[in-house]
Amino acid sequence: MTVDDSTHDLSDDVLERHERIADEVLSRDSYDLLIDGEWVASESGERAVARDATTGGALAEYWAGNREDVDRAVAAAKNSFEGKWGEQSPVQRGEYLEELADRVADEKTRLARLDSLEVGKPNKHSLFVDTTVVEDQLRYFAALARTADEGRRPPSSSDKHVYTREEPYGVVGAVGAWNFPAMFVAWKLGPALAAGNTVVYKPSSRAVLSTLALAELANDVLPPGVVNVVTGSGSEVGDALTGHEDVRKVSLTGGATAGRKAMENAAADATPVSLELGGKSPNIVFSDADLDQAVEGAVVAILFNQGQQCTAGSRLFLHEDIREEFLERLADRVAEISVGDPLSPMTDVGPMVDPEHAAAVREYVDAAREHGATAAIEAAVPDDLAAAPFVPPVVFEGVDDDDRVAREEVFGPVLSVFEFVETEAVVERANDTTFGLAAGVWTSDLERAHEVAADLDAGTVWVNTYNDLFDPAPHGGFKASGIGRELSKEAMDAYRQAKTVKISLGGIPNLG
């Protein structure tokens, strides 16, 4: 890692630790584009810098790709789809994915540390959550590729034979987000490749290193052109990819603005689009809940990944009978949270991804205070990290339902607390948002749990848990939170299209 003028003023211990780990996990200090099985330069001739989220130091250079690079990558993916990859059976595709999962298992420590460096993820989270999900998703879709139905036989009459085929689209244009960079690679490659497609992948410019490391592993396993990676900006590479005439399916994880732009680009050729966008998730605690579990769930809901998660339970609704006790317990629990260096095994909350995002989150905090909210609970940042882009976790009371901090996706460790009495009223308030990605319900009343889960406008409702994405169940949003599902069979279905074949055994239909 190069410590340059942009490096934050941090303690020598922190800087030395980050330099040492960077030297251990970076395979090179300059990365190319992956196109058709080769690592190549960009036609743009422009380089960008991947930086350490905590120190600001330069980690490595990579290419700022352009439209010509996208054209080359899409052509390579199309050739591979029409060639060797298109000839692979579902069993063979599953074997490829299993081998890739084996490679990931061997490299989990390195992949996790790359995300801890570049994004600021606490290493215990990137290791035991993110990279574990990467491996699990690849193995799940490997199994699904071998066992999924390739078609069916609808009822036929005696004079015809009817069957369907489930076929891949072809070239998939996939765009990832920076908050879970390694994980999103598997979320998209797993089902897309299992279904028989080839992929051109664009990572966020805020987080490229774990994607490029995974691309190295994929390139060692898969035939050339099956997976291609073009780094660069959303306005250049992202727009070129999502609007490309030879891309037959688009999948994007990101913010609402990026999602709308991808849909606009894809509309020219009526290209189908899957989107996983933002959220403003409610977390509802009833008076009969197990408070110890609910407090822990509230912490996970807002502080996992520093609140930089689309599913963040940023609106906490507490029944009036348990509000005071709950906040007391929550304060005690937050006091136990370790805010610190993401490379430390003890750290629970790391920095924001970069100073720009930290400033944006602080604007929400400042605006909430200006509108009368009070910080009921607030954590602190260690002195040796004070110069890094941290936003201390904060729990606000006195927030109005219409305040910005209650309506917009903050994407940081900022929690707003609300009180409720009646179930019907709290569900109505919970649903009063343009988003609908996730929600949490805490109660010991099973009937209530089912009723509230049914009434909430959210793609996932967690009951007496939160942020549980380990099982292969459909994950995706309602309303402005997206289109389609990931993590499950439904994800693979989204990368296939049904073809119906009808064979006449006795003449043509009589239309007269």
Reported as a pLDDT band with limits 50, 70 and 90, residue 4 is very low
Catalogue the E-assigned strands of 356-510: 374-378, 394-397, 414-420, 438-442, 460-463, 482-483, 496-504
Q: Which residues contact 420 (CB under 8 A, 6 or more apart)?
A: 284, 317, 318, 319, 320, 426, 429
SS3 302: helix
pLDDT digit string, tens, across residues 272-316:
999 999 999 999 999 999 999 999 999 999 999 999 999 999 999
Q: What CA–CA distance (Å, rounded) separates 108 from 268?
A: 40
Residue 18: its H or E element: helix 12-25
pLDDT of residue 124: 96
What's the average model confidence in pLDDT over 63-87? 98
Among this protein's residues, is 276 annotated catalytic? yes
pLDDT of residue 285: 99
For residue 484, pLDDT beyond 80: yes
pLDDT of residue 512: 62
Q: What CA–CA distance (Å, rounded) separates 301 from 99?
A: 34
Chain center to CA of 453: 23
- Catalytic residue (choose from 276, 320, 324, 397): 276
Reported as a pLDDT band with limits 50, 70 and 90, residue 36 is very high
Q: What CA–CA distance (Å, rounded) separates 12 from 53?
A: 16
All CATH 3.40.309.10 domain ranges in the chain, comma separated: 282-471
What's the average model confidence in pLDDT over 489-505? 94
pLDDT digit string, tens, across residues 405-440:
999 999 999 999 999 999 999 999 999 999 999 999
pLDDT of residue 508: 74
Please give the C-alpha separations between residue 230 and each of 57, 115, 127, in angstroms, as whole numbers: 23, 19, 25
Region 282-471: CATH code: 3.40.309.10
All CATH 3.40.605.10 domain ranges in the chain, comma separated: 12-277+485-496
pLDDT of residue 5: 43
- Let me know: does 458 contact 439? Beta carbons within 8 Å: yes
pLDDT of residue 152: 81
For residue 3, pLDDT beyond 50: no
For residue 2, pLDDT beyond 80: no
Give the class (CATH, top level) of 12-277+485-496: alpha beta
What's the average model confidence in pLDDT over 359-366? 98
For residue 140, pLDDT beyond 50: yes
Burial of residue 407 (number of CB atoms within 10 Å: 0-12, 13-18, 19+):
middle
For residue 361, pLDDT beyond 80: yes
What's the average model confidence in pLDDT over 446-460? 98
pLDDT of residue 105: 98
pLDDT > 70 in the chain, percent: 98
